[in-house]
Amino acid sequence: MSLMYIISRIQDGHIDPNPKWGVPEEEVVSNRTKLMSSRGLKNFVRMRAVHGNEVHVITGGNRAQWENKLMGGPVGDALVTKLLNIGLECDPGDCAMYIFFHGPSGTVGLAHSGREGSIRKVAVKTVEVMASYNGCSLEQYVGDVRIIQAPAICAEHYRMDYLDVPRDDVEDWRPHLQGAFDVESTDKENYVRLRGRDGPMGIDFVGYNASQLCKIGIKKEHLQLSSVCTYESEDYPSHHKAEVEGAKNGRFMVMAWMSDN
């Protein structure tokens, strides 16, 4: 059993069926089929991400309701499965995607973590669900989890006036925010608002996720981070670049699965 994955590029064509890109569905299906069949994969579950932290476990009992549905996949921000030859998919355009693989238990996972998912620690939660689904404690399990991060937007290009985070996490966020900030109150219980003192601050949610994953025991050498910024790269669509420049490049595919060969 081995981990397989696809991280598509602009050159692979549109892979997102959302009609807002103005691309015929046949073309999208053809591009997707080409990417998957070149790796011998036929089946997928395509997650509809909502910037939360819900994790779905795909099993023999529930796969049929979501399998191979372009628009009818599970709503949530992470998928986990022990099934072979079924691609776990989410198609980002700046948010970080994390692929998780635990060889000894034969478990694969995928998490979508932009700003909000990072605040809600969806990547950490995915590892916790993988461990508990295998009847393991996090301590027993985490040492063998390998993680691959797909390209995401960097802090230099991802700037916000403020960030609302749980009060208890302020010190963990501090090294990953570029520029000084003030801590203000919010209406949301147990949250505070970190407001850039000198205007918008750069938000390194990728760095924050890496530190949170290492904090639960993921080994540094098992965490493969991407150095590619989607905003800067010519190879990946960027949601933010599309807003700034009006480019309609869509999304790119991140799909992970376990193969039995």
Q: Is 231 in the site for Zn ion (CB under 5 A)?
A: yes
Residue 150 or 229 with smaller CB distance to Zn ion: 229
Output the smallest distance, CB 87 to Zn ion, in A: 28
Q: Write out the binding residues for Zn ion, residues 110-169 only, by CB under 5 A.
A: 154, 156-157
Output the smallest distance, CB 156 to Zn ion, in A: 5
Encoded amino acid at 121, one letter = K
Q: Is 232 in the site for Zn ion (CB under 5 A)?
A: yes
Output the smallest distance, CB 233 to Zn ion, in A: 8
Residue 164 or 232 with smaller CB distance to Zn ion: 232
Q: Is 206 in the site for Zn ion (CB under 5 A)?
A: no
For residue 193, give the H/E element and its range.
strand 191-196
DSSP string, 116-182: HHHHTTHHHHHHHHHHHHTT--HHHHGGGEEEEEPPB--TTT-EESEEEEEGGGHHHHGGGEES-EE
Output the smallest distance, CB 230 to Zn ion, in A: 8
Tokens of 79: 């998928």
Output the smallest distance, CB 151 to Zn ion, in A: 10
Three-state SS letters, 7-63: ECCHHHCCCCCCHHHCCCHHHHHHHHHHHHHCCCCCEEEECECCCCCCEEEECCCCH
Output the smallest distance, CB 235 to Zn ion, in A: 13
Q: Provide the total of helices (H) and of strands (E) in the chain, helices listed first.
A: 7, 16
Q: Which listed range, 23-31, 115-123, 127-135, 230-238, lies at the site for Zn ion (CB under 5 A)?
A: 230-238
Residue 216 or 225 with smaller CB distance to Zn ion: 225
CA nearest to 203, candidates 224, 238, 242, 229: 229
Residue 76 or 93 with smaller CB distance to Zn ion: 93
Q: Which listed range, 61-69, 115-123, 167-175, 228-236, lies at the site for Zn ion (CB under 5 A)?
A: 228-236
The b-or-e profile of 152-184 (16+ CB within 10 A means b, else e) is: bbbbebbeeebbbbbeebbeebeebbbeebeee
Residue 124 or 154 with smaller CB distance to Zn ion: 154
Output the smallest distance, CB 155 to Zn ion, in A: 8
Q: Is 229 in the site for Zn ion (CB under 5 A)?
A: yes
Q: For Zn ion, which residue has the nearest CB? A: 229
9, 36, 80, 111, 257 from 56: Cα distances, Å: 26, 22, 6, 10, 15
Q: Is 101 in the site for Zn ion (CB under 5 A)?
A: no
Half-sphere exposure of residue 210: CA atoms within 13 angstroms, side-chain side: 17
Residue 74 or 92 with smaller CB distance to Zn ion: 92
Q: Is 235 in the site for Zn ion (CB under 5 A)?
A: no
Phi, psi (degrees; rounded to nearest 5) at 55: -110, 125
Output the smallest distance, CB 239 to Zn ion, in A: 13
User: Which chain residues interact with Zn ion by CB under 5 A?
Assistant: 154, 156-157, 229, 231-232
